[in-house]
Amino acid sequence: MTFDEAKKAIEGQLKAKPLGVEEIPLLESSNRVLAENITASLDIPPFNRSAVDGYAVRAEDTFGAEENRPVLLKVSGTVNIGELPETTVTKGQAAEIVTGAPIPEGADAVVMIEHTSRNGDEVTVFGAAARDENIMKAGADIKKGKTILRKGQLLGSREIGVLAALGKAKARVYAVPRIAVLSTGPEITEPGMKLPPGKIYDINAYSLSTAVLESGGRPVYLGVFPDNLDELRKALRRALVSSDMVVTSGGVSVGPKDIVPKTLSMLGEPGIILSGIAIKPGKPTTVASVAGKLVFSLPGHPTSALLTFQLFVRPLIQVMSGRKAEKPIEVKAFASMRMFPAKGRRTFIMVKLRQEKPKGLIAEPIPTALSGAITTLAKADGFVEIAEDVQFIDAGEPVTVQLFKTESLLQGN
Amino acid sequence: MTFDEAKKAIEGQLKAKPLGVEEIPLLESSNRVLAENITASLDIPPFNRSAVDGYAVRAEDTFGAEENRPVLLKVSGTVNIGELPETTVTKGQAAEIVTGAPIPEGADAVVMIEHTSRNGDEVTVFGAAARDENIMKAGADIKKGKTILRKGQLLGSREIGVLAALGKAKARVYAVPRIAVLSTGPEITEPGMKLPPGKIYDINAYSLSTAVLESGGRPVYLGVFPDNLDELRKALRRALVSSDMVVTSGGVSVGPKDIVPKTLSMLGEPGIILSGIAIKPGKPTTVASVAGKLVFSLPGHPTSALLTFQLFVRPLIQVMSGRKAEKPIEVKAFASMRMFPAKGRRTFIMVKLRQEKPKGLIAEPIPTALSGAITTLAKADGFVEIAEDVQFIDAGEPVTVQLFKTESLLQGN
C-alpha cells in the first residue's frame, strides 16, 4: 500500500472527528480547544464607564470653555468605582468620578481632572468636552449577542481572558483522547530496572507517550509486554476498553516474531485494515480497527516508531481532540550530498540543518547506524520527504525540510 | 525610568537563575528543562546486535561465496532475542539469529536470511559477508561516557527517548516557579458569580494565570481583592510565603486608588524598586522586591496587563524555570497607516496582520477603544515596538512585528 493510500485508509476508518465535549474550570482550560461558539451574553463593559479620573458633565454645559474663559459647575456628588452612582448630573452640575466608574444619569462626557480646579462644592472647567468624550460606552469592547470566539479555537491567555470578561468560570472544550501506549519485545526492559544481559531498555513507550502529549492527547502508559500472544491480546483488549486508541511498537519485523499483527487479527472486526506501507523507514507499520477504535502497530526501531507516529497517529490525535490537522512547519535548504530514496517507497531522510555562508541553510543526512538508533532522531532537526518516483536528489539541490523541533530553530539556538 | 533601565533593574534584582532542581518520573518530564548534563552510563546498544534476520558467521568462512559458488556451513544453534547466546560460532559454523539478538562469540558478521538456504542442520550461504556486516556494534548509537544531553535542554519526545534508552526512569529537572496571581479593584467580580450593577468581571487573574503557564511557571490563582489596604497587605504577605513571585493587576492608576503601590512599600525591604516606566501602554507598572522575591503590580487594563507581563515577567519566569530567555518570534510587514509613539515613551502598538497582494504582509493597528479592551488583545497577532526617539512610522514603511500567537501564523491559518 502506498503512503497516500495508507493515509487515506486510516483517516477513512476513523471518520476523523472530535471524540466528545466536556465542561471544565476555565483556569484549567489552557491549551484546550473550545467546543462551542461563544456569543456575548452581556455588553463589555456592561455600562458606560469613565476612561479617566475627572468630572462627569453634560457636554453642552462646557461648550466654549477655554483656559481663560472657564466654566463653573456645581459638584452634585461623587461616583465611586464598583457602585451604582448615588448622584445624577443636571444642568450646571458635575459629578466627581474615577476611571472605570459608571457614568451618572444626565452626564454625557467626562472632563479630565487635569483640566479642572476644585474649590469646595464647585469645580472650574478649563476646556470644552465633546459628547461621549472620555467615556467607554457599554458594549464598546464586546457587543452583547456578538459571536466573539469560535468552536475550534485553541484557548490561550487572551481567549481565556475573553471568557472571563463574559463571567464564565467554566469552558466547554473537546475531550482529550486517551491513547494507550505499549512496547513489545522479549529483549525490552523497563527503564529503572536492572538491565539483564542480552536486553535493552525500552525507548518507544516513553518517546511515544510524550509524542501523544505533544499532539494534544493523554497518554496511558502500559509499559513493556513480552512477545506472548495471550498476554498481549489481553493487554490490547483492556487497552481498547480503557482508551480511545492504542499505539504499540515492536514485534512487527519480518522475522519469526511478528506477533503483534497476529494478535491484531484476533481482536475483533473489522481487524487489520493495512499491513505494511511502502515507506522507508516504517515499512512494517500495521493498523487494525476494532469496534471503531484504531490500534497502531509501529516498528520497534525508535526512529521509525516516532516518525510513523508523526506521519499517521499525530494528525488523528489532533482531529480527535478538536484541533485543526496542522500543516508541518517547513524550511527550504540545500542537500549537502546526494540522497537516494528506497526503490518504490516514500522515503524520509533525517537531516540536521546548518547555516553555511554564502549558500544558506544546508540539510545534512544523519547516518542511521543501521536504523536502530535513538540518537539519529535526537540529532535530527527534521526530515526530507522523497517521492516514490524520484531517482535521487543531488548534492546542492534545494529540498524542503519538515521540522521536528520547531522551538530551537525558531528561537535561533 | 526608561524601558531599557526598567528591564535592567528587574533582571538585576533577581540575579536571574533557576530556582531549584527536582527529580521527577521521566514520564512526567515532558516540557520540563533538564538540570544536569547526561553522560551515557552504558553503551547503546549494550552489546553487538544483529541488524537483520539470518545467520551469524565468521566473515572469513564466507569469502568468495557467490550465487553459483555457495558456501556450506553447519548450524551450531539458534540465538534468541533478549537472551545471552547459548551457542558459539567456530570455523565452518553459523548460528541462526534474529534482528536485535546478541552476536554469539566467534561470529563477526551476519548473512541475511534472503541470501541463505537452510537444510536440516546445514545452511547454504550464497554471498560473502564482510567483517561487521549487518552488525550494530555495542555503543554505535551512544558511546558509554559520552555526554549526550545537556543541562538546559527542553525535554520532548526525543530527549525523553534518549533518557529511557539509558535506563533512566527519572529525570533531574529545574523546579517550576510558583507565581501567585491576583486582581485588585472594588469594581472587579469573579467570573461565575452574579454581576452586581456597576461592576465588571475579572479578566486579568485569568489571562495572567494562563500566561504564567505558557511561560513555564505554575500559576497560584488567588482571585480578586477589593482595594482594602489591610486585606491586600495580608494577601500579599501570604502570597510571598507560598510562591516565588507575585503578579497583581489593577490598583495602580494615577487616581485616588493607587493602593497597590502603597501596600508594596509596606511589605519589607528593599521594597519598591521601580514605580512607573516610560512605556505605552503600561506606564503605571510598579515593581517591588521583598526578601529576594519580586512583586509586580501591573496596570488593570487587560491589554496593558498582558503586554507588561510579556515584556517584564515572562522572561523572568523562563529564566527561573531554567529556560533560555527566548527571542520573540518576529515577522516583517508594512505599516497600513501612520503610527505615532507616545512622546518620550517606548510605545507598543497592537496590530493585526493580513496578506495583501502584491505588497505582502500588512500590519494594521487595532483601535484601542480607550485601552480598556480585552478584544484589542484577542484580535492582535502581535505588536510593533516604536523607540522613544522615533517621530512616527509612516504608512507603507517596513515594520517588525513581534508575534503573540505563534501557532496560528506558523500553521498558516
Least confident window among A140-154, A202-216, A392-406? A392-406
Among A247, A304, A326, A375, the residue to mutate for chain B (most B Cβ within 10 A)? A375
**b/e map of B346-359 (b: 16 or more CB within 10 Å)?**
bbbbbbbbeeeeee
**b/e map of A283-294 (b: 16 or more CB within 10 Å)?**
bbbbbbbbeebb
pLDDT tens per residue across span B168-191: 999 999 999 999 999 998 899 999
Contact B372 A136 (CB under 8 A): yes
Which of A44, A102, A82 has the alpha carbon at shortest distance from B187?
A: A82
Q: What is the pLDDT of residue B405?
A: 57
CA dihedral B253, B258, B262, B264 (to 10 degrees): -50
Helices B204-214 and A157-165, axial angle in degrees (round to 10): 160
- Asked whether residue A74 carries a pLDDT value surpassing 90, the answer given is yes
Distance CA A202, CA A185 (A): 9
**b/e map of A149-172 (b: 16 or more CB within 10 Å)?**
bebebbbbbbbbbbbbbbbbebbb
User: Which carries the bigger pLDDT value, residue A268 or residue B367?
Assistant: A268
Q: How far is CA B123 from CA A395, B58, B68, B93, B126, in A?
A: 42, 14, 15, 9, 10
pLDDT tens per residue across span B352-361: 999 888 888 9
> Which of A167, A206, A410 shows the shortest C-beta gap to B329?
A410
Q: What is the pLDDT of residue B246?
A: 97
Q: Does B160 touch chain A (CB under 8 A)?
A: yes
Half-sphere exposure of A339 (CA within 13 A, CB side): 28
Residue B218: count of CB within 10 angstroms of its CB:
16
Q: What is the pLDDT of residue A15?
A: 67
Reduced to 3 states, what is the DSSP secondary structure of residue A76? Answer: strand
First to last CA, chain A: 39
pLDDT tens per residue across span A113-134: 999 999 999 999 999 999 999 9
Q: What is the pLDDT of residue A369?
A: 53
Residue A63: count of CB within 10 angstroms of its CB:
11
Distance CA B66, CA A148 (A): 74
**Residues facing residue B93 across a β-bridge:** B74
Q: Does A210 touch chain B (CB under 8 A)?
A: yes
Q: Is A264 exposed, middle or buried (0-12, 13-18, 19+ CB in 10 A)?
A: buried
Reduced to 3 states, what is the DSSP secondary structure of residue A326? Answer: coil
First to last CA, chain B: 39
Contact B51 A166 (CB under 8 A): no
Task: Read off the pLDDT of each residue in A261-290 and give the average, rounded to a whole number.
Answer: 90
Distance CA A306, CA A247 (A): 11
- Asked whether residue A298 carries a pLDDT value surpassing 80, the answer given is yes
How many residues in total does chain B contain? 413
A contact residues 269-328, partner B, Cβ 8 Å cutoff: 300, 302, 306, 324, 326-327
Q: What is the pLDDT of residue A408?
A: 34
Least confident window among A79-93, A264-278, B247-261? B247-261
- Asked whether residue A370 carries a pLDDT value surpassing 80, the answer given is no
Q: What is the pLDDT of residue B230?
A: 86
Q: Does B197 touch chain A (CB under 8 A)?
A: yes
Q: Does A228 touch chain B (CB under 8 A)?
A: no
Q: Percent helix, strand, coil in chain A (nearest 5)?
A: 25, 35, 45
Task: Read off the pLDDT of each residue in B18-42 and give the average, rounded to a whole number.
Answer: 96
Minimal-distance CA residue of chain A relative to B41: A195
Contact B84 A192 (CB under 8 A): no
User: Which carries the bigger pLDDT value, residue B406 or residue B23?
Assistant: B23
Contact B207 A158 (CB under 8 A): yes
Q: Percent helix, strand, coil in chain B (nearest 5)?
A: 25, 35, 45
- Residue A118: all three cell numbers together: 476644585
Work out whether strand B293-298 and strand B286-290 pair parallel, antiparallel, or are unpaired.
antiparallel
User: Which carries the bigger pLDDT value, residue A261 or residue A283?
Assistant: A283
Output the CA torsion sign for A71, A74, A76, A79: positive
pLDDT tens per residue across span B244-270: 999 999 865 544 456 777 888 888 888
Q: Which domains does chain A have, with CATH numbers?
A: 3-18+176-320 (3.40.980.10), 22-42+144-174 (3.90.105.10), 49-136 (2.170.190.11), 330-410 (2.40.340.10)
Measured between beta carbons, which residues in chain A are less than 8 angstroms from residue B110? none
pLDDT tens per residue across span A388-405: 999 999 999 999 999 875
pLDDT tens per residue across span B327-345: 778 889 999 999 999 999 9
Contact B208 A157 (CB under 8 A): yes
DSSP string, A294-311: EEEEE-SSHHHHHHHIII
Contact A82 B187 (CB under 8 A): yes
Distance CA A53, CA A336 (A): 65
Q: Does B21 touch chain A (CB under 8 A)?
A: no
Average pLDDT value over all residues in chain A: 90
Alpha carbon A328 to chain centroid distance? 13
Minimal-distance CA residue of chain B relative to A135: B370
Residue A381: count of CB within 10 angstroms of its CB:
23
CA dihedral B315, B316, B318, B324 (to 10 degrees): 70
- Asked whether residue B41 carries a pLDDT value surpassing 60, the answer given is yes
CA-derived radius of gyration, chain B: 32
Q: What is the pLDDT of residue A405?
A: 57
Distance CA A151, CA A114 (A): 46
- Asked whether residue A253 carries a pLDDT value surpassing 60, the answer given is no
Contact B203 A82 (CB under 8 A): no
Amino acid symbol at B259? I
State the smallest CA–CA distance between residue A23 and chain B in angstroms.
Answer: 13
Rounded to two decimals, the ipTM of the complex is 0.90
Distance CA A98, CA A111 (A): 11
Contact A255 B98 (CB under 8 A): yes
- Asked whether residue B411 carries a pLDDT value surpassing 80, the answer given is no
Which of B216, B205, B168, B208 has the alpha carbon at shortest distance from B322?
A: B216
Q: What is the pLDDT of residue A256?
A: 46
Q: What is the pLDDT of residue B263?
A: 85
Measured between beta carbons, which residues in chain A are less than 8 angstroms from residue B199? 82
- Asked whether residue A56 carries a pLDDT value surpassing 80, the answer given is yes
User: Which carries the bigger pLDDT value, residue A382 or residue B261?
Assistant: A382
Measured between beta carbons, which residues in chain B are less than 8 angstroms from residue A165? 200-201, 203, 302, 374
State the smallest CA–CA distance between residue B46 and chain A in angstroms.
Answer: 7
Residues 6+ apart with CB under 8 A from B142: A374, A375, B40, B43, B44, B148, B162, B165, B166
Task: Read off the pLDDT of each residue in A236-262 and give the average, rounded to a whole number.
Answer: 80
Q: Are A19 and A161 in contact (CB under 8 A)?
A: no
Name the one residue in this structure whose C-alpha cell is 492582535. Answer: B380
Contact B210 A327 (CB under 8 A): no
Q: Does B259 touch chain A (CB under 8 A)?
A: no
Binning pLDDT at 50, 70 and 90, where does residue A226 land? confident
Q: Are A113 and A134 in contact (CB under 8 A)?
A: no
A contact residues 338-367, partner B, Cβ 8 Å cutoff: none
Among A201, A212, A310, A329, the residue to mutate for chain B (most B Cβ within 10 A)? A201
